[in-house]
Amino acid sequence: MARTKASITDLAQQLGVSVSTVSRALSDHPGISDATKKRVWKLAKELHYQPNHLAAGLRKGRSNLLGVLVPHIDGHFFTLVVKGIETIASKAGYNIMICQSNEDVAHERKNIETLLSAQVEGILVSMSRTTRDFKHFEKVRKQEIPLVFFDRVLDGLDVSAVVLDDREGGYQSTKHLIKQGCRRIAHFSGPQHLNIYKHRRQGYIDALLEAGLPIVEELIFTCDMTLEDGIEGMQQMLALTNPPDAVFSASDFSVVGALQELKRRKLRVPQDIALAGFSNETFTSLTEPMLTSVDQRCEQMGQSAVRLFLEMREEHSSTFSPRRVVLQPDLLVRESSERVSGKK
């Protein structure tokens, strides 16, 4: 019948009341008689009335939209973060709009623009790998829209962010390896302009120093953290006159590469070389031996990011001071690093 959607005005006309009355009735405003409310609700059902959030948003100056900008949606990490974000956001009455930057600053810039036009009330972002400056984010600030970074942040920038204590993760892993009796611990690290890799490496260094062990340059392999990089890294290490007795990799993928190479050479893990990765990817508990790794609290990270946004929203922009949430990593010891069969 009515092919075009019914609006609040249609309801008003058919009921012989004013639009305001209908509007208020629909939102269960106290100043409307129960009789009228019921009439309105009834007709609304009949006409399949569908409130228009765009219009409401325009009028109220609110969109109930939360923007999320990530490098990409595949993979373990961002997926879980997004899940955490969606869960909390929807509880708070927000819908989320997702964009991928594809690890490209240009895309990132465009995405920011898009999100702003969509009138999002806040933006949660993890920077692309190629992002080195902050200009395009300044615009967000200027509009006084809450901006929360997660995981990937530009260091030394006064912004709200929720991050993992990557240094601690690196520190704990390495310390654990030391406790297992390892003395020459190699480290596979990633691009150093990314805070996460820098910090994981720092943790590694701190643990070594604390134990009075030397920092050996040739034991640190910097790469892109793929599985293939792991294979290559392992090959390099084994070619040394004095090979390591353990590897702490800043990524689970490269540690799997290392594992494969070791197996190919019939070396035993952890007896000959112990392994520890980072991220607690699904597959770490499916390999043989199972891989020690660090859980990044992905889902919690997403949740915290939303909560941070909600807090910022409450505050007057004058009072505003960027907050930072640091999540504690969770070292999961598995077979690949358990040399001492002893109890904990």
Partner DNA sequence: ACTGTTTATGCAAACGTACGCAAAGCAACC
Partner DNA sequence: GGTTGCTTTGCGTACGTTTGCATAAACAGT
Instruction: Summarize as ranges the residues that interact with DNA (CB under 7 A).
Output: 5, 7-9, 16-21, 23-24, 26-27, 30-36, 49-52, 55-56, 58-61
- In the chain, alpha helices (H): 8-15, 19-26, 34-46, 53-60, 76-91, 105-117, 135-142, 166-179, 195-210, 227-238, 252-264, 298-314
> Angle formed by the axes of helices 195-210 and 166-179, to 10°?
40
Using alpha carbons only, give the angle 271, 206, 344 rounded to the nearest 5 degrees.
45
Using alpha carbons only, give the angle 303, 198, 74 rounded to the nearest 5 degrees.
45
Q: Is 54 in the site for a copy of itself (CB under 8 A)?
A: yes
* Minimum distance, C-beta of residue 123 to DNA, in the bound complex (Å): 18
* Minimum distance, C-beta of residue 75 to a copy of itself, in the bound complex (Å): 8
Binder of residue 213, out of DNA, a copy of itself, none (CB less than 5 to 8 A by kind): none
Site for a copy of itself in 240-299 (CB under 8 A): 256, 263, 281-283, 286-288
Q: Which residues pair with 124 in a beta bridge?
A: 68, 148
The secondary structure of residue 189, as a DSSP letter, is E
* Minimum distance, C-beta of residue 194 to DNA, in the bound complex (Å): 36
Q: Is 119 left (phi over 0), alpha (psi -120 to 50) or beta?
A: left
What does the per-residue mask of binding to a copy of itself show for 6-45, with x meaning CB under 8 A? ----------------------------------------
Residue from the set 7, 14, 36, 79 that interacts with a copy of itself by CB under 8 A: 79
Binder of residue 26, out of DNA, a copy of itself, none (CB less than 5 to 8 A by kind): DNA
d(CA 191, CA 206): 19
If the CB atoms of residues 34 and 155 are measured against DNA, the closer one turns out to be: 34
d(CA 197, CA 137): 23
* Minimum distance, C-beta of residue 96 to a copy of itself, in the bound complex (Å): 6
Binder of residue 63, out of a copy of itself, DNA, none (CB less than 5 to 8 A by kind): a copy of itself
The number of beta carbons lying within 10 Å of the beta carbon of residue 178 is: 18
Q: Is 95 in the site for a copy of itself (CB under 8 A)?
A: yes
If the CB atoms of residues 34 and 314 are measured against DNA, the closer one turns out to be: 34
CA distances from 174 to 132, 171, 190 (A): 29, 5, 16
SS (H, E, C) 127-150: CCCCCCCCHHHHHHHHCCCCEEEE
* Minimum distance, C-beta of residue 177 to DNA, in the bound complex (Å): 57
Query: Which amino acid, residue 17?
Result: V
* Minimum distance, C-beta of residue 66 to a copy of itself, in the bound complex (Å): 10
Integer-rounded Cα Rg, in Å, for the chain is: 27
Q: Return the exposure string of 211-235: e unless at least 16 CB atoms fall within 10 Å of the residue's CB, then b.
A: eebeeeeebebbbebebebbbbbbe
What does the per-residue mask of binding to a copy of itself show for 118-137, with x meaning CB under 8 A? xx------------------
Q: How many residues contact a copy of itself, by CB under 8 A?
A: 46
Binder of residue 288, out of a copy of itself, DNA, none (CB less than 5 to 8 A by kind): a copy of itself
* Minimum distance, C-beta of residue 268 to a copy of itself, in the bound complex (Å): 14
Q: H or E element: which one contains 249?
A: strand 246-249
If the CB atoms of residues 3 and 343 are measured against DNA, the closer one turns out to be: 3
Interface residues with a copy of itself (CB under 8 A) are 3, 5, 48, 50-55, 57-58, 63, 72-75, 79-80, 82-83, 86-87, 90, 95-100, 114, 116-119, 139, 142-144, 256, 263, 281-283, 286-288
